[in-house]
Amino acid sequence: MRHGRIALLGLQALCSVLFFGCVTVDPRPDFDRTEQMVAARAGVDRAYNPETSSVMEEAVAALLADGLTTDEAVQVALLNNKPFQALFQEIGVSRADVVQSGLLSNPSFGLSTRFPEGGGRSNLTLTFAQQIADLWQIPARKRIAEAALEQTILNIVHQGNNLASDARRDCYQVIALIQLEAISRETMELAKRSLKLAEDRFQAGEGAKVDVNLARASVLEVKSRAMGLHRELELARTTLAHTLGLARWSKPWTLDGVLPQDSRHIKDDESLLTFAMNERLDARAAAMKVQAAEDEIKHQYMSIFPNVTLGVEWERPERKSAPGRNVLADTARASVANGALTAPSIQSRGERRQERRQVIDSLLGPSLDITLPIWDQNQAQIAKARFQAVAARKAYEAILDEVARDIQQAQTVAASASELVAFFEDEALPQARSSVEAAQRGYQAGHLDILAMLDLQKTLVAQQEAFIGAKRDLAIAVGELRRATGGRLPEDASDDAIVSPPADPEVENP
């Protein structure tokens, strides 16, 4: 009985430890860190955080109150875009996996009883066992889970950078169309002025009716172009509203801004490519995946012995019930044996105690249960982990190739757009404006026919629209260059370096 009491006391103590040692899943520090990284990469003050989501709508309303700049539009997107908000729940899932990876398996408790034939005390067995393979598997599991959490955070920050780039691109599309509408209004005034010149000359008998008709057709053509631009602008606003999470926003809002002409870092510079490879967070996440895959190989090696259970077992043996005593029969047998009336023998109290001390009342001892790796030595899972590690490294190298491609494409487009902007500003537009003014004077004086004047006006309009398109392309290309470098340009970045995957011979093809 003493051993039984010890076992029960041990069980009570373990239950108390388990009750007071409960763990919780708290992703708030991860949310805060992710928000800070997103905001730093996008160049804004704050980003979405599930813990402060209750004040997000007020912040968005305040930003929309006085009209949005491009930077404010980025801020709204990072606060209000619903798909981006949903990504943050993956952080909670990954944090839960980290917590789970550090927990021991639950112990097992067993109880069995067997009843002897003919009555008596039953056999009772209590077992308590704990899986101890966790002791050498938990470190590897935690490294894998923590790497997965870091991948999740880096991927969300990368998605935030992409969202910021998309918001800027959509803003530039809207701003360019607003400027094209302004040019369309100027073109309408120019076309009406040409129509007025044609009508004045016709009324003065110096021009033909066909000149008036041609000028009026030019006005109608400009009006048709203005209607098309308005449609494109409304569609661009709808796209921008979706990116900003304002598709169902009931209050009116406006976008105010200009197309930037920042031509920094558009040269073919190898240092920018090196900087981008260190900055791209999808590359960092891929590097973390390589590390996790290599840790998984080690984990699978440790799982060759998947079950090693250490426990304690207490057993109370069965005991037959004492048979009833026939005193008369015992007296008769004792009398016959002695040849005279004799009382039967009776055990003393001391003899009874000594006999009870010689009876084994309970058994207590350790137990070990181990799964022997005879048929299954985890070869398949080890090979699978090796293949996955090789695939992870190749995916990491592929992302580095994508970084180089994105940088080169963005630099090429930005350089071309920058040259076009300079060309239109310095040469084409001044020449086209001067030609139109001279043509109007020549037509008014009767030295030039109206077709030549209208052709020059169309050339001016086309070059003005091409100039706006070049400025838009330059702004978008620089934004894409910022996207390709991970959201920051060299002067904006800190000294945090890429997490490079180690070269491990275990990652080679099996």
Are the C-beta atoms of 183 and 461 separated by less than 8 Å? Answer: yes
Among 12-26, 139-153, 368-382, the minimum mean pLDDT is found in 12-26
266 pLDDT tier (thresholds 50, 70, 90): low
Q: How many residues does the chain have?
A: 510
Return all residues near 259 (Cβ < 8 A) that are at least 6 apart.
Answer: 172, 175, 176, 179, 468, 471, 472, 474, 475
Q: Would residue 328 count as lying in a domain? A: no
The domain tally of the chain equals 1
Q: Kindly report the three-state secondary structure assignment for every residue of 20-73.
A: HCCCCCCCHHHHHHHHHHHHHHHCCCCCCCHHHHHHHHHHHHHHHCCCECHHHH
- Look at residue 331 and tell me if it is in a domain: no
Instruction: Indicate left, alpha or beta for 116 from its phi (over 0: left) and psi (-120 to 50: alpha).
Output: beta
Give the H or E element holding residue 135: helix 134-203
In this structure, what is the dihedral angle of CA atoms 242, 484, 74, 489, given to the nearest 10 degrees? Answer: -170
In a domain, 354, yes or no: no
Query: pLDDT band for position 322 (50/70/90)?
Result: low
What pLDDT is stored for residue 323 in this prediction?
60
Task: Please check whether residue 20 lies inside any domain of the structure.
Answer: no
pLDDT for the residue 326 = 65
Helix (H, G, I), strand (E, B) or coil at 504: coil
Does residue 254 fall inside a structural domain? Answer: yes
Supply the angle between the helices 134-203 and 28-42 in degrees, to the nearest 10: 30
Confidence of residue 357 (pLDDT cuts 50, 70, 90): low
H or E, element range at 194: helix 134-203
If one compares 206 and 492, the residue with the highest pLDDT of the two is: 206
Name the CA dihedral angle for 158, 162, 163, 164, rounded to a multiple of 10 degrees: 100
Decide if 350 is inside a domain: no
Residue at 43 is within a domain: yes
Per-position b or e across 472-503, b if 16+ CB within 10 A of its CB: bbbbbbbbbbbbbbbbbbeeebeeeeebebee
DSSP summary character for residue 124: E
- If you average pLDDT over residues 122-145, what whole number do you get? 88
- Summarised one tens digit per residue, pLDDT across range 326-337 is 667 667 776 777
What DSSP designation does 490 have? G
The domain in which residue 110 lies consists of: 2-8+26-319+360-507
Q: Is 365 helix (H, G, I), strand (E, B) or coil?
A: strand
Please report the sign of the dihedral spanned by the C-alpha atoms of residue 469, residue 473, residue 475, residue 479.
positive
Q: Are the C-beta atoms of residues 27 and 91 closer than 8 Å to each other? A: yes
In a domain, residue 334? The reply is no
Distance CA(390)–CA(507), nearest Å, equals: 6
pLDDT-derived band at 32, boundaries 50, 70, 90: very high
Tell me how far apart the alpha carbons of residues 481 and 161 are, in angstroms, rounded to a whole number: 12
What pLDDT is stored for residue 208 in this prediction?
80
What pLDDT does residue 330 have? 66
pTM, entire model: 0.78
Kindly state the average pLDDT of the residues 243-256: 89
Lowest mean pLDDT among 49-53, 171-175, 347-351: 347-351
We report the CATH number of the domain holding residue 172 as: 1.20.1600.10
Q: Which two tokens stand for residue 75?
A: 């801020």
User: Taking the alpha carbons of 225, 227, 230, 235 in that order, is the dihedral positive or negative?
Assistant: negative
Structure tokens at 108: 């097992």
Instruction: Give me the mean pLDDT over the 311-320 stretch.
Output: 82
Nearest to 275 by CA among 74, 481, 475: 481
pLDDT grade, residue 24 (50/70/90)? confident
